[in-house]
């Protein structure tokens, strides 16, 4: 199907002089142009926070509080730098990844590694749809006990079909509004409860918080810590799909095609500053959410020796609420769990659909610049992916393990992402758009930290222990 003139004129991936818009100045004027980061937060405040972070807190107590803060902060500079390249060029991440040498035929090595990541993410996102199904089943069991296969099967199918129906249009405004609602609902409740813990029998003290800032990793917690670092905050997948939402919000189109002029540089830097604000708001949201989940795991579950496992994950996590507020809070928690895990599904389905289609485009299956063909393929994956995730969960039925496997591979792919970011920065980003000295210093620190994570991960995979 050929591209219609109207589709080309309104396509955010097509940069034209007609699409140019002056960037806003200041926070107040910029607020209406924020949004990609909120979709990012919807994805982040979910699998990592509710499952991996809380589980880690339950396992080791307050000892790794420092890693929670570090893992959310250290990767933001890489996210912002890749988005800077996207705004400057109007191209999404996998298009850029494919240019990083060496290449095997049409495929760059980063995209080949991305395919391995995508396979492990089938497990992780299967864990998300499974965790949501368990929450629904406990709240409203169908055909027997809440954790019976029949009830879990019915709710898993319902979630897959419902997600497809709601997201099939792939309208950006719908995705953004849904993400904002889901993030606000559960983050507000969770942070309130975390801040209220000192008033309960599970109070934590300043000494507890101080013990978690000693920059040590307890024996036996390395695997869980590694998964948490890879999956909390912005992971490799979120860094990657953030570029698609920056484009679809309009940042690149409003900047316009690069004609080399000072006016283009001024506009580009203006929209990059808006993206900075968007990334900052997102960071605040998911950092506070991450800290709240970790504190609840450390303060409530750890002293009782409760660690979320298997399909009983939701039941164990609900103890955070029932032990703090009473049995009535179980319903509140289940609704909240549905919201937070559902937010990850809500953001993941359209995000991964775009990345899969972009990968196919780099392989020559379709023309990425054809908006009609692109949307048609995105809708195909909007149907296929939830079905694959549901099958993965029903086959394995261990949400915690499934999410942690995805977290480890995310840590490995972060290294490839850093390599790609530096290559694109050097070869394609206009030097007039580079960040200041403070940002560049943060980018170096971020890159080194991620590189060390990748080295450690590979050593662990090959059985070479450290420390």
Out of 126-135, 198-207, 371-380, the most confident range is 371-380
Specify the pLDDT at position 406.
63
pLDDT of residue 322: 67
pLDDT tens by residue, 218-228: 766 676 676 66
pLDDT per position as a tens digit, 268-326: 999 999 999 999 999 988 888 788 878 878 887 788 777 766 556 566 666 666 666 66
Residue 152 · residue 311 · CB < 8 Å: yes
Q: Is the pLDDT of residue 6 over 60?
A: no
Buried b (16+ CB within 10 A) or exposed e, 373-397: bbeebbbebbbebbeebbebbbebb
First to last CA, the chain: 58
Residue-level pLDDT at 320 = 63
Q: Evaluate if residue 403 carries a pLDDT over 90.
A: no
Is the CB of residue 50 less than 8 Å from the CB of residue 403?
Answer: no
Q: How far apart (Å, rounded) are the C-alpha atoms in residues 225 and 222?
A: 5
Which residue's structure tokens are 């506009």?
A: 267
- From the list 334, 353, 218, 298, the residue with the least C-alpha distance to 57 is 298
How many angstroms separate the CA atoms of 314 and 295, rounded?
A: 17
Residue 352 above 70 pLDDT? Answer: yes
Residue of higher predicted confidence among 73 and 307:
73
Calculate mean pLDDT across residues 169-177: 91
The answer, yes or no, to whether residue 52 has pLDDT greater than 90, is no
- Alpha-carbon distance of 400 to 405, in angstroms, equals 9
**Cα torsion 316, 317, 323, 325: sign:** negative
Q: Please report the pLDDT score of residue 384 as a whole number.
A: 96
> Looking at residue 101, what is its pLDDT?
95
What average pLDDT does the chain have? 84
Name, in order, each residue with C-beta under 8 angstroms of 426's C-beta and a sequence gap of 6 or more.
Answer: none
349-373 average pLDDT score? 96
The fraction of the chain above a pLDDT of 70, given in percent, is 82
Contact predicate 44/340, CB 8 Å: no
Which residues have C-beta within 8 Å of that of residue 206, sequence separation ≥ 6?
Answer: none
CB atoms within 10 A of CB 196: 12
- Are 233 and 75 in contact by the 8 Å Cβ rule? The answer is yes
Look at residues 458, 434, 453 and name the one whose alpha carbon lies nearest to residue 74: 453
Give the range among 17-31, 77-91, 205-219, 317-331 with minimum mean pLDDT: 317-331
pTM of the model: 0.87
Task: Say what the pLDDT of residue 1 is.
Answer: 43
Which has the closest alpha carbon to 397: 309, 324, 461?
309
- Using a pLDDT cut of 90, give the percent of the chain over it: 43
Residue 205 DSSP SS3: coil
For each of the domains in the chain, give its residue range(s) and CATH number, in order of start: 19-127+171-461 (1.10.4160)
Mean pLDDT lowest among 50-54, 311-315, 330-334, 377-381: 311-315
Q: For the segment 405-458, what is each residue's pLDDT rounded down to a tens digit? A: 666 677 778 889 999 999 999 999 999 999 999 999 999 998 988 887 777 666
Per-residue confidence (pLDDT) for residue 82, from 0 to 100 = 97
Does residue 241 contact residue 352 with C-beta atoms inside 8 Å?
A: yes
> Does residue 49 carry a pLDDT above 50?
yes
Flag the least confident range among 159-173, 194-208, 342-356, 386-400: 194-208
- Given a cut of 80, is residue 215 above it in pLDDT? no
- Mean local confidence (pLDDT), 70-86: 91
């Amino acid at each position: 199907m050929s591209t219609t003139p109207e589709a080309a004129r309104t396509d955010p991936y097509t940069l034209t002089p007609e699409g140019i818009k002056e960037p806003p100045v200041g926070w107040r004027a910029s607020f209406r142009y924020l949004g990609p980061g909120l979709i990012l937060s919807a994805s982040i405040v979910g699998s990592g926070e509710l499952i991996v972070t809380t589980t880690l807190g339950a396992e080791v107590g307050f000892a790794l509080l420092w890693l929670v803060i570090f893992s959310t902060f250290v990767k933001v500079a890489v996210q912002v730098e890749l988005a800077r390249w996207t705004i400057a060029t109007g191209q999404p991440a996998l298009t850029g990844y494919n240019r990083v040498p060496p290449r095997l035929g049409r495929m760059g090595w980063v995209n080949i590694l991305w395919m391995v990541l995508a396979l492990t993410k089938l497990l992780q996102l299967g864990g998300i749809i499974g965790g949501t199904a368990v929450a629904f089943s406990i709240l409203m069991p169908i055909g027997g006990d809440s954790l019976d296969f029949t009830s879990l099967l019915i709710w898993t199918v319902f979630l897959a079909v419902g997600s497809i129906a709601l997201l099939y249009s792939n309208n950006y405004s719908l995705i953004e509004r849904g993400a904002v609602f889901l993030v606000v609902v559960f983050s507000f409740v969770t942070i309130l409860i975390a801040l209220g813990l000192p008033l309960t029998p599970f109070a934590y003290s300043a000494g507890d918080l101080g013990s978690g800032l000693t920059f040590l990793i307890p024996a036996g917690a390395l695997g869980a810590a590694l998964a948490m670092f890879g999956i909390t905050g912005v992971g490799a997948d979120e860094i990657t799909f953030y570029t698609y939402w920056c484009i679809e919000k309009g940042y690149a189109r409003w900047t316009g095609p690069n004609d080399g002029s000072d006016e283009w540089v001024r506009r580009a830097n203006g929209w990059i500053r808006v993206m900075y604000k968007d990334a900052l708001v997102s960071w605040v949201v998911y950092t506070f959410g991450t800290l709240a989940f970790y504190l609840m795991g450390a303060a409530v579950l750890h002293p009782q020796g409760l660690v979320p496992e298997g399909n009983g994950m939701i039941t164990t996590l609900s103890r955070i609420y029932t032990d703090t507020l009473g049995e009535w809070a179980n319903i509140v928690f289940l609704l909240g769990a549905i919201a937070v895990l559902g937010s990850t599904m809500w953001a993941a389905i359209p995000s991964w659909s775009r990345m899969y289609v972009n990968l196919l485009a780099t392989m020559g299956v379709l023309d990425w610049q054809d908006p009609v063909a692109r949307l048609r393929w995105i809708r195909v994956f909007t149907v296929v992916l939830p079905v694959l995730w549901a099958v993965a969960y029903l086959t394995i039925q261990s949400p915690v393990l499934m999410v942690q496997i995805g977290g480890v591979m995310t840590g490995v792919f972060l290294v490839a992402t850093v390599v790609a970011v530096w290559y694109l920065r050097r070869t394609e980003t206009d030097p007039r758009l580079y960040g200041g000295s403070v940002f560049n210093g943060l980018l170096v620190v971020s890159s080194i930290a991620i590189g060390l994570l990748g080295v450690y991960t590979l050593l662990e995979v090959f059985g070479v222990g450290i420390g």
